[in-house]
Amino acid sequence: MSKSNRIRYNRQQNPLVRSGPPWGAIAFFSVIGLIAVVAIGFAAWLAFKPAEPIAGLIERDGLPRGHVQTKVRYDTTPPMGGEHHPVWQNCDGRVYDQPVQNEHAVHSLEHGAVWFTYRPGLPDEDLEKLKKKVSSIDYTMLSPVPEQDAPIILTAWGKQVKVNDADDKRIDAFLKAFLKGPQTPEPGAACAGGKDTP
């Protein structure tokens, strides 16, 4: 047997020298790639899927946005938008223990804030939950509104929902949909450096 034939024969017999597709590695990386594509697709679907409608959502369109230095008569309590004071109410996760002036709060709504309001007499447990939630989220504020017709109301510019307790799932749905949401006339404008007192 010639030397070249001997080398060819040895290569054919030795499994370490034999060449061919590495099927194990191909299968492994194909499975990893498939898992990655499915995970990315699922994450994208969660991020961009349409939000489910919020039960009891009240909406107003075409609200005026002018600045005024006088009291404004609003048609909802608390107001959902309209003319407002040139200075906004600080809404950087603020908790106010007294009612705030509507005209300043409405300016905060114009900037993308969600205003949590509660009727005095709300159970302490619910009030503490609201305070904790608001103080941890920028572009929110909490204040009492004695004359409102529901225990808790969440308001964004042109949007409002009324709930009975702090565990209502619509609270988080409302925040997700409307905190600096597409309805906001000036999303991301300042929420600090305005009026700091009720």
Question: Which pLDDT belongs to residue 176?
Answer: 95
CA distance 113 to 138: 8
Question: Which pLDDT belongs to residue 79?
Answer: 98
pTM of the model: 0.77
DSSP string, 96-165: -SSPPPHHHHHHHHHTT-EEEEE-TT--HHHHHHHHHHHHTSTTEEEEE-TT-SSSEEEEETTEEEEESS
Question: Which pLDDT belongs to residue 26?
Answer: 76
Residue 24 belongs to some domain of the structure: yes
Range of the domain at 162: 58-178
Compute the C-alpha angle 112/55/184, nearest 5°: 15
CA distance 164 to 192: 29
Same domain, 66 and 27: no
Question: Which pLDDT belongs to residue 4?
Answer: 52
User: What average pLDDT values come out for the chain (198 residues) when binned by 10 residues?
Assistant: 53 56 76 79 62 89 96 97 98 97 98 98 98 98 98 98 98 97 94 94
Same domain, 76 and 35: no
Question: Which pLDDT belongs to residue 17?
Answer: 54
